[in-house]
């Protein structure tokens, strides 16, 4: 089987065909979860999989599973998949590359009459992006039990539309029990969404760890007063205190090199008036590190600094640590490395800086990820780009990693 390869042009044509659904003026995609455009994308996926003899199942959260039978149905399926929904200004490859790589694997095995011992499955996970409904990675999170099905059904978008109703409206409110499928491994192919592989001139990233994430809402409460008549030493300036904390977030990340990351991307100021000293500020903090011990230290650093600012400036700082995503170890990525070596692709170990469905699947089954480069590391952007050759390499590695686990008959 070492000579078996996917068809580069067919994979690329499929990616470009799917990209027409929700195409934006700048060449990206706007295909939010559970919209009519998402339905079109799902329908096309099902059509392509059924054309190579797969059966389609849909669970109660709309996750789709295309199954290719093996010779031993008692074995857990060897699975791959990702998502078809995008950001409002998303690209053509994020998530979609992983799904359509799975489709191309099915096509390649079908036309070459390859028989596997274990079944193979390709999945489409509902609402990975978290753009229309929150949280992100919602479908896989429900599947593995991180989130409660009925609670997530009740989530609404900005227009008050209920998720369960929207699933039903597009025809993907399935009847299969969530989490009921028999799997033995899960693989996900994905563009890196970062610049490392391109910078290192490597064709394949063997993803060993998934980034740990801590999210906070920080609220600083001081006292609003007149900007022209309040002396500096009598102020309780919530924004000045917040600026110190935000600067410290960056310093925390730098102190925990090479993998520490710290970001503030959201900020609200009250009363947000030019000549009034701000009385309260709420802002986000995002800390990330693939090492759980380091991430815990970053958490302590943040809390200690916030307390010191509160004491020094005599104001209140509330740190709401509302979400923790533990670092993930991808135990099946050894198979990814084996496949990359066998096929002669240059490769390196790497960690996933973003969340992926495979991060949740690793809760319940050995999982692995295949990264491919993307131009300038840009993703979640309409100009997101990778090449046909890079897609081909990632898909070939995915196929051989799956075959390594599934076993080929004959």
Contact yes or no for 137/149 (Cβ under 8 A): no
pLDDT digit string, tens, across residues 171-181:
999 999 999 99
* 124 contact partners, CB below 8 Å, separation of at least 6: 42, 45, 63, 64, 81, 82, 83, 84, 99
In 3D space, the residue among 290, 294, 322, 317 whose CA is nearest the CA of residue 306 turns out to be 317
231-288 pLDDT tens trace: 999 999 999 999 999 999 999 999 999 899 999 999 999 999 999 999 999 999 999 9
| pTM summary value | 0.87
Summarize pLDDT for 289-336 with one digit per residue, the tens: 999 999 999 999 999 999 999 999 999 999 999 888 889 999 999 999
Give per-residue pLDDT as tens, 23-46. Answer: 999 999 999 999 999 999 999 999
User: Which residues lie below 8 Å from residue 166, measured CB to CB, with a gap of 6+?
Assistant: 34, 35, 157
Beta strands in 271-377 (DSSP E): 280-289, 316-325, 328-329, 347-352, 367-372
Mean pLDDT of the chain: 97
Other CB atoms within a 10 A radius of the CB of residue 226 amount to 9
158: which 2 tokens? 């900005």
Residues of the chain with CATH 3.30.70.360: 213-325
Residue 39 to residue 301: CA distance in whole angstroms: 45
Cβ distance 396 to 386 under 8 Å? no
Pick one of 3.40.630.10, 3.40.50.1450, 1.10.645.10, 3.90.1010.20 as the CATH number of 8-210+327-406: 3.40.630.10
Q: How far apart are alpha carbons 109 and 310 in whole angstroms?
A: 62
Residue 1, pLDDT score: 72
Q: How confident is the model at residue 195 (pLDDT cuts 50, 70, 90)?
A: very high
Name which of 84, 135, 83, 126 is nearest 325 in CA terms: 135
CATH architecture for segment(s) 213-325: 2-Layer Sandwich (3.30)
CA distances from 305 to 46, 135, 247, 300 (A): 52, 28, 11, 8
Torsion of CA 218, 222, 224, 230, to 10 degrees: -140
């Amino acid at each position: 089987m070492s000579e078996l390869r996917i068809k580069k042009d067919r994979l690329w044509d499929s990616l470009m065909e799917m990209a027409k659904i929700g195409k934006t003026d700048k060449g990206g995609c706007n295909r939010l979860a559970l919209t009519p455009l998402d339905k079109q994308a799902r329908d096309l996926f099902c059509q392509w999989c059924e054309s190579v003899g797969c059966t389609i199942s849909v669970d109660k959260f709309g996750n789709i599973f295309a199954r290719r039978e093996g010779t031993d149905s008692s074995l857990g399926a060897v699975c791959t998949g990702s998502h078809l929904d995008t950001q409002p200004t998303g690209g053509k490859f994020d998530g979609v590359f992983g799904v359509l790589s799975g489709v191309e694997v099915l096509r390649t095995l079908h036309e070459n009459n390859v028989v596997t011992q274990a079944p193979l499955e390709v999945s489409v996970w509902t609402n990975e992006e978290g753009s229309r409904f929150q949280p992100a990675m919602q479908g896989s999170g429900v599947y593995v039990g991180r989130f409660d099905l009925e609670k997530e059904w009740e989530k609404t978008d900005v227009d008050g539309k209920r998720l369960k109703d929207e699933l039903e409206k597009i025809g993907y409110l399935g009847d299969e029990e969530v989490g009921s499928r028999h799997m033995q491994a899960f693989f996900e192919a994905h563009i890196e969404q970062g610049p490392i592989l391109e910078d290192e001139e490597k064709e394949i990233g063997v993803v060993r760890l998934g980034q740990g994430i801590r999210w906070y809402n920080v609220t600083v409460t001081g006292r609003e007063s007149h900007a022209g008549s309040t002396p500096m030493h009598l102020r309780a300036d919530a924004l000045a205190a917040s600026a110190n904390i935000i600067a410290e977030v960056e310093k925390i990340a730098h102190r925990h090199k090479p993998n520490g990351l710290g970001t503030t991307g959201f900020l609200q100021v009250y009363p947000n008036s030019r000549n009034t000293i701000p009385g309260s500020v709420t802002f986000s903090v995002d800390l990330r590190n693939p090492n759980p011990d380091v991430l815990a230290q970053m958490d302590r650093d943040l809390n200690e600094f916030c307390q010191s600012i509160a004491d020094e400036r005599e104001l209140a700082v509330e740190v709401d640590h509302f979400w923790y995503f533990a670092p993930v170890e991808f135990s099946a990525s050894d198979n990814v490395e084996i496949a990359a070596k066998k096929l002669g692709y240059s490769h390196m170990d790497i960690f996933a800086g973003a969340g992926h469905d495979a991060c949740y699947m690793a809760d319940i089954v050995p999982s692995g990820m295949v990264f491919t480069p993307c131009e300038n590391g840009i993703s979640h952007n309409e100009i997101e780009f990778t090449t046909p050759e890079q897609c081909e390499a990632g898909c070939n590695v995915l196929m051989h990693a799956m075959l390594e686990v599934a076993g080929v008959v004959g």
